[in-house]
């Protein structure tokens, strides 16, 4: 059952509404413009551990939303709730709702497999399958079925081009993906996610295992991808959040403390804790 979010967007020129200073605040993070995904009073529990506390947040369409915060603040947990990756974790429980368009993805009738095709994910560590580059990228199509060989080749090329990897690997599509460098592997994982043409791309610290040059390439890639895709990226790198995103959310111990346009959050944060974090006083 979809909870109807009681968010009135019109009339609020205030970019983000700041909640009261209490930890379990009822803070609703709104945005201007088209909303692609929206969480309403989202809670995630691992057993008795309350990892995400009542987070309501809107993710703008075809923009980059960065989620930052210190380690263990729940930003990755939040991201994984957006395509129901918690279904895999024993003992994890999710309440509240996540809307993709108008659909509640936690509704009982929701098809998780279809959802994950619409909401792709790139993980912290590059995790290519131990197979050829071609098979990695075409994996999503093959599990869907119904594509012939030429369609598959075309999609693989397109996806690899979108991931800025085509020129580097076009001559060795049949070699193992594990032979690629870390940065290439991560771009391969992005290409793999793009191949099923998702609407939203979730990235869970995609650069944390990469060197600065590979990181730069991924960031440039994100810049291009946002023309077509809605992107939500978790990062513990403040500069990265500042560079790539249009909106930034700050998480602390499972609470969404502040959510605002990136420029605003980095130039005049409204909450003391956000300011402490971005000025390096903790985290």
Partner 1 sequence: MNLLQIFTEIVVPLVVITVGGLYLLGGPTWRQRIRQYLTMGYSRAELIRMIPFALCAVIVILALLVVVLFVGGNAFQTFTRDHVSLIAFFTGKVWYPDNGQVGALYLIVGTLTVTVLAVVISTPISVALAVFVTEVAPPWARQFMQPVLELFAGIPSIVYGLLGIELVVPLVSYAYNYLVGAFLYAGFGVIAAGLVLAIMILPTITSISIDALAALPQGLREASLALGATRWQTIRRTLLPASSSGIFTGVILGTGRAVGETLAVAFLVGSNPNNLPIQFTNTFPYFNLQPASTITVQIFEDFKEATPGSLNFDAIWTLSFVLLLISFLLVAASRYVASRGAYKATNQRPSGRRRSSETGVASSTAAAAAVTASALPASNS
Interface residues toward partner 1, by CB under 8 A: 83, 85, 88, 90, 113-114, 116-117, 120-121, 123, 125-131, 139-140, 142-144, 178-182, 185-186, 189, 192-193, 196, 209-210
CB of 208 to partner 1, least distance (A): 10
In degrees and rounded to multiples of 5, residue 265 shows phi and psi of -70, -30
- Closest to partner 1 by CB, 83 or 230: 83
Burial readout 64-98 (b: 16 or more C-beta within 10 A, e: otherwise): bbbbbbeeebbbbbbbbbbbbbbeeeeebebebbb
Whether 248 contacts 266, CB under 8 Å: yes
CB of 235 to partner 1, least distance (A): 17
Report the DSSP beta bridge partners of residue 204. Answer: 234
- Closest to partner 1 by CB, 124 or 270: 124
- Closest to partner 1 by CB, 19 or 206: 206
CB of 149 to partner 1, least distance (A): 17
CB of 103 to partner 1, least distance (A): 16
Total residues belonging to the chain: 283
- Closest to partner 1 by CB, 88 or 213: 88
CB of 32 to partner 1, least distance (A): 30
- Closest to partner 1 by CB, 92 or 252: 92
Whether 37 contacts 230, CB under 8 Å: yes
């Amino acid at each position: 059952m979809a909870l109807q979010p009681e968010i009135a967007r019109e009339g609020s020129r205030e970019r983000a509404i700041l909640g009261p200073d209490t930890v379990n605040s009822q803070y609703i993070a709104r945005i201007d413009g088209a909303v692609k995904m929206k969480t309403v009073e989202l809670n995630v529990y691992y057993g008795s551990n309350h990892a995400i506390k009542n987070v309501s947040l809107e993710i703008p369409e075809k923009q980059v939303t960065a989620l930052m915060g210190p380690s263990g603040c729940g930003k990755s947990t939040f991201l994984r709730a957006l395509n129901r990756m918690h279904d895999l974790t024993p003992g994890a429980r999710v309440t509240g709702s996540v809307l993709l368009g108008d659909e509640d993805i936690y509704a009982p009738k929701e098809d998780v497999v279809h959802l994950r095709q619409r909401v792709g994910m790139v993980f912290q560590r590059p995790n290519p399958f131990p197979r050829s580059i071609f098979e990695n990228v075409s994996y999503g199509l093959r599990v869907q079925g119904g594509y012939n060989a030429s369609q598959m080749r075309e999609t693989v090329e397109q996806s690899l081009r979108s991931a800025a990897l085509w020129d580097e690997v076009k001559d060795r599509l049949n070699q193992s993906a594990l032979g690629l460098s870390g940065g290439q592997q991560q771009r391969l994982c992005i290409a793999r996610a793009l191949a099923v043409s998702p609407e939203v791309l979730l990235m869970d610290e995609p650069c944390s295992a990469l060197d600065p040059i590979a990181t730069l390439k991924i960031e440039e890639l994100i810049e291009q991808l946002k023309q077509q895709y809605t992107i939500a990226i978790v990062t513990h790198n403040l500069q990265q959040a500042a560079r790539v995103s249009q909106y930034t959310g700050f998480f602390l111990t499972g609470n969404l403390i502040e959510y605002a346009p990136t420029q605003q959050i980095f130039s005049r944060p409204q909450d003391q804790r956000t300011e402490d974090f971005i000025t390096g006083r903790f985290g």
